[in-house]
Structure 1
Amino acid sequence: MEIGKYVNGLTQKDGIYFSERTSLISYPEKGNEDFFKIEDNSFWFEHRNKCIYMAFKKYAINNLFFDIGGGNGFVAKYLEDRHIESVLVEPGINGCMNAKKRGLNHVICSTLEEANFEKNVLPNVGLFDVVEHIEDDLGFLKMIYNYTEKDGFVFLTVPAYNFLWSNEDVDAGHYKRYTIKTISKCLQLAGFKIEYASYIFSPLPLPIFLTRTLPSVLGFNKKSDDFEKHQNEHKIKKGITQKTMGHFLNKEILKISEGRKSSFGSSCFIIAKK
């Protein structure tokens, strides 16, 4: 794939394309490094990847995927390993270097604004837990609309429900949580048509409320940067609880493949078309 067909003015070094400058983003400095240690053994990242892949197979009409704000390239590499050509666009240099370690071929170190994309050229765009980090979410989605080709798709996940807000959101650099209605409206105002909208991670709202939201409200969880805690939460475990959770999560993947929706979950999963 020729990167120059899609972007202008980038320089290449050590297999990574760089823009001239990169603006600050609302994301913890250690975020990519911490997640790089977690992703490969995380039931959460594994399930999200399976949902994304199933949706791509069902809806995408072009075998090229641009993962915007894709961190360490965990999604992009998963798709590329399944013969979907993928490009990571990530402003954090550590994330880009981690993506190269994973063997991802196409990595752009830049924010979306400064990557100098041509307009109307991106066939499939991924925004996976990205939009909540952007204060002007509508302005950002309008920018995505301008870069997406006619009949192109945006695949998007965001955290769900304001009642699950906690210090975890504050420390992660989130501006808000969403519902299917609010994120769909934002996409529609940006010009997109909603093709599919569902919640995912249906077993998680109650555990999140009990272990994150409630302690935050009661003042027991003022700082949430405990790496070992995060690692333990994500770890794939054995036992009846994990089997039960796996049953519900597998049903979500089946629903996506059939175009059916889940009415409750800790994340919103949207597929929109230009």
Structure 2
Amino acid sequence: MIEGRELLFEIEREHWWFESRRKIVYDLFWKKYFSKQTEKLKILSIGTSSGVELEFLSKFGNVLGIDLDEKMVLNAQKNGLNVLKQDILSNNFKDNSFDIVFAMDVLEHIEDHEKAFKEAFRVLRSGGYMFITVPACKFLWSNHDEHQFFPHKRRYNKKDFLVLLRTQNVEILKCSFFNFFLFPFITLVRLLNVSSDSQLKIPNKFVNSFFKTIFSSERYFLNKINFPIGVSLIAICRKKCAE
């Protein structure tokens, strides 16, 4: 596990899945809602892992990351990133503290995900945005979920995900499946319960580049449509202003 944590920075920087997700975040979120933004935004990233995503998000504002894994936090701090060892369930942030909150593949790791979601919106200012991704389709549950660096508690159907989003006073701007084009292949791998050891490795250059090209191309479609199925779900929400 320690070796896995040391490798995670390299994996999150170069693996096709993480690179593609960053491209989707940029096109679907930053370009659409903040292309004319001039002031620095105050951003909270929940579950910062190795810190690669923080480096990416820091281009768009002042980013604070929180994570429960002490080794991850220390490594991120050594790389000059603003990260605290803190639990979203018991954080000490004031109400309306952040312009944007990111929870990318985090809620599935938290037992009380409803409270985590509630806290994320409490610290988000009125009119602020939240960007969320979670693993989708309960039937895809496999050893991949159980043998993550940090194991999953659940996968989400879209109906359940929408129910969770609507527990707070939010405007749902986007809710779609993604990782649609690779869904048949990934479904086959998961249903066959193929060993999850590959999550600790970056595929060879050809495979990595091929998968990245396919997955990242979804950003051109997600701006116009919602995919009917996929390996993950994505949501963009805006906190409604208090009446």
Cα deviation, 1:227-270, whole Å, max 9, x if unaligned, reads xx2244x436326x954x445334311234x3432222211111
Q: Which residue of 2 aligns with 1:202?
A: 180
| Contact map agreement 2:12 2:50 (CA 8 A) in 1 | no
Q: 2:80 aligns with which of 92, 100, 103?
A: 103
Identity %: 29
Q: 1:158 aligns with which of 134, 147, 156?
A: 134
| Contact map agreement 1:159 1:178 (CA 8 A) in 2 | yes
Is residue 2:11 matched to residue 1:45?
no
Secondary structure of the residue aligned to 2:206 is coil
Q: Which residue of 2 aligns with 1:76?
A: 54
Q: Which residue of 1 aligns with 2:203?
A: 235
Change in CA separation of 1:47 and 1:114 when aligned onto 2, cut-off 3 Å? same
Q: Which has the larger radius of gyration?
A: 1
Gaps of 5+ in 1: 1-27
Secondary structure of the residue aligned to 2:192 is helix
Is residue 2:218 matched to residue 1:252?
yes
Cα distance in 2, alignment partners of residues 30 and 153 from structure 1 = 35
Cα deviation, 1:176-206, whole Å, max 9, x if unaligned, reads 1113332122011133221111222123322
How far residue 120 of structure 1 moved from its aligned partner, in angstroms, is: 1.8
Cα distance in 2, alignment partners of residues 125 and 148 from structure 1 = 7
Is residue 2:42 matched to residue 1:64?
yes
Is residue 2:205 matched to residue 1:213?
no
Q: 1:118 aligns with which of 94, 103, 107?
A: 94
Amino acid corresponding to residue 228 of structure 2 in structure 1 = S
How far residue 43 of structure 1 moved from its aligned partner, in angstroms, is: 0.7
Q: 1:262 aligns with which of 218, 227, 233?
A: 227
| Contact map agreement 1:165 1:177 (CA 8 A) in 2 | yes
Cα deviation, 1:87-145, whole Å, max 9, x if unaligned, reads 111121211222234432x2112111333000122210000110001122222211222
Gaps of 5+ in 2: none
TM-score (norm 1): 0.75
Cα distance in 2, alignment partners of residues 182 and 250 from structure 1 = 26
Q: Which residue of 1 aligns with 2:154?
A: 176
Deviates more, 1:42-51 or 1:165-174: 165-174
C-alpha root-mean-square deviation of aligned residues, in Å? 2.5
| Contact map agreement 1:196 1:270 (CA 8 A) in 2 | yes
Change in CA separation of 1:36 and 1:271 when aligned onto 2, cut-off 3 Å? same
Q: Which residue of 2 aligns with 1:4?
A: none
Q: Which residue of 2 aligns with 1:88?
A: 65
Cα distance in 2, alignment partners of residues 112 and 177 from structure 1 = 20
How many residue pairs end up in the alignment? 232
Q: Which residue of 2 aligns with 1:22?
A: none
